[in-house]
Amino acid sequence: MRSQIDLWMTRLSYLYIVLPFLLFAFLWLNLFSALIFGGTVLVSLILAWKRIDPWMLVRLKRGRTFWVIVMVIFIVFFSGIGSYTYQNEDFPYRNAMFNDLMSYPWPVMYHVEGFEGHFLNGKDTLMTYYLGYYLPAALVGKIFGPAAGHFALFLWAVLGVLITLYLIAKYLQKFSLAVVFMFFAWGTLFFIGALIKYPVEKFGTEGNYLWAGMRLYANSNLGSIYWIFNQSLTAWPIMLLILNKIPLKNSIFIYSFCLFLSPFCFVGFLPFFLYYLLLHYRQGRDLQEFVKSCFSFQNVLGALAVVALTYFYLQSNKAGQKFHYIPFSSLKVFVAFMALSWGIVALILFPKFRNEPLYWISVAILIPLPFFQQGNGMDFPGRVSMPAFLVMLLLAMRLVLEEKRSLTRKAMVAYFVVAGVAHFIFETGISMWKTGVANLSYRTNLHEVLMQSENPEYRAFGEELKEMRNKQVLIRDPFKTITHPSNPVIWNYMADTEGSFFYENLAKKREP
């Protein structure tokens, strides 16, 4: 029974990863290209399914599983995904793109106007972004309407978290509420830096989580679900399948989808994937036998189809082509960030895992990352670091579960508690509060009553309610479309069709 559950959960994980690419290939490409790329990947998926070797040893108890599902639904509900609760500052851009995916024919094209002086103004452009995560829900929205699409996006996120938790339980060979709590609690001690830098009365306001600068940022697991779910909920299953030692004949195929779905994580996971291949090679100690064990239709032609199409699609987007080295002006801030984001965890893990290569690979990745940047903002170090943080989380979970009375176990438990409480407050807690306040603001005239009060605290709360009414934070959709003149970052999501190999040779042709 357990092997059957593992078989179907692993198949579901494969489908969760592969389905967005199949939709992209069959619905965005011309007929010939769709048959070549989509057909190759579809055959590869079927062959990969046949290679699955189920081995889950842990029994999933129904009662525990039920409460885990309830917890996941609750946490994802307050992420803003689906437009039911408070949405953070990234959602205006995500909502605009998702709207366009639901309302425009595929491939999504634009004629850019109203951006005087912009290099894309007056050009015909193609939506060019790592958008795979959104495609299944967007297709539902196309067929059944936007409300159904938003609900499908919410369900797709819930499914991604559940698959991730299942694969973590499989890796640890333990499914318990403690494992689930540790997953959601995982994160940095960023708030300590914010408390030091900002006055207490301003703590918790938007932006102070970037106390160390735009490049010095690392997400918690809750933060990854609330802010970059399109990358984390696709990359986590891919990485966990590989860490769970999927058949070598499937491994390159599965890993290749990380480039399509979450390119930054593809880069960050590469050293771990190479180590995974090295382990397989050392088991046989024969290069010819190792190459033979890797050789399969899905690993060669399937992976090549994914990597080639992804490259042809993304290479014309100029937003991510700027890569540079940036030194730090403040050694104190750099050291503080490194200590609070992962250094303390690394010290706690050191006694148990000092001979574990995965530990040292994580450290080797995390040290130099903040010195480099691709494009603008914090995307490169904040996203490329996700695989290393996932591995550190798994090591931290092993420490808590395998050790009994050691000092390092107590320290790790304390870290989980402190980080978990902080991140729950700053992600889920703030969302719950602002969702409640927003509903009061939208549905009542309480702000008018409070603003007339003689109590200054009541008046302040009334001002907050009034401000919330104007912001529309439950559905942050000021642009409606990527090409709205107020959108300052349209180039992140599109590329000029002129000179684009993808558009000229692979994409369906239509008028923007």
Q: Give tens-digit pLDDT for 238-262.
A: 999 999 999 999 999 999 999 999 9
Residues 6+ apart with CB under 8 A from 118: 112, 490, 491
**pLDDT of amino acid 201:** 47
* Residue written as token pair 């550190």: 392
Higher pLDDT pick, 244 / 206: 244
Closest residue by Cα to residue 382 from 223, 505, 274, 488 = 223
Give the per-residue pLDDT at 254. 97
The continuous run of DSSP H or E covering 323 comes out as: strand 323-325
Q: What is the mean pLDDT of residues 119-127?
A: 87
Confidence of residue 34 (pLDDT cuts 50, 70, 90): very high
- β-strand pairing of 372-374 with 494-496: unpaired
DSSP for 365-407, written as a single string: HHTTGGGEEESSTTHHHHHHTHHHHHHHHHHHHHHHHH-SS-H
What integer pLDDT is reported at residue 203 of this predicted model? 45
**Which pLDDT belongs to residue 510?**
80
What does the mean pLDDT of the chain come to?
A: 87
Lowest mean pLDDT among 19-28, 68-77, 425-434: 425-434
pLDDT tens-digit profile of 282-326? 776 677 888 888 899 999 999 999 999 999 999 887 766 666 666
Least confident among 5-14, 210-219, 228-237: 210-219
Cβ atoms within 10 Å, residue 215:
21
Tell whether the model's pLDDT for residue 328 goes beyond 60: yes
Q: How far apart are CA 223 and CA 373, in angstroms?
A: 21
Query: Comparing 172 with 381, which gets the higher pLDDT?
Result: 172
Q: What is the pLDDT at residue 511?
A: 77
- Residues 427 and 397: beta-carbon distance below 8 Å: no
Bin 509: left if φ > 0, else alpha if -120 < ψ < 50, else beta: beta
Chain segment 383-428, per-residue pLDDT in tens: 888 999 999 999 999 999 998 888 999 999 999 999 999 899 888 9
For the chain, how many helices (H) and strands (E)? 26, 5
Residue 444 has pLDDT above 80, yes or no: no
Peptide bond into 381 cis (omega under 30): no
Question: Which of left, alpha, beta for 377 (phi over 0: left; psi -120 to 50: alpha)?
Answer: left
Tell whether the model's pLDDT for residue 481 goes beyond 70: yes
3-state helix, strand, coil in the chain (%, to 5): 70, 5, 30
pLDDT at 491 over 90: no
The pLDDT, as a whole number, for residue 89 is: 83
In this prediction, residue 450 has a pLDDT band, given cuts at 50, 70 and 90, of confident
Q: What are 34's two structure tokens? A: 């769709």
Reported as a single tens digit per residue, the pLDDT across 164-205 is 999 999 999 988 899 999 999 998 888 777 777 665 444 445
* Contact predicate 229/261, CB 8 Å: no
* Residue 204: per-residue pLDDT: 47
Instruction: Using alpha carbons, select from 81, 93, 352 the residue that is nearest to residue 229.
Output: 81
Q: Indicate the domain borders of the chain.
A: 2-422, 423-471
Q: Which two tokens stand for residue 455?
A: 């109590």
Helices (H), 35-120: 39-51, 62-77, 91-103
Look at residue 377 in the predicted model and tell me its pLDDT.
Answer: 53
- 442 vs 207, residue with greater confidence: 442
For 160-189, letters b (16+ CB in 10 Å) and e give bbbbbbbbbbbbbebbeeebbebbbbbbbb
Least confident of 98-112, 324-338, 359-373: 324-338
More confident site: 489 or 377: 489
> What per-residue confidence (pLDDT) applies to 338?
84
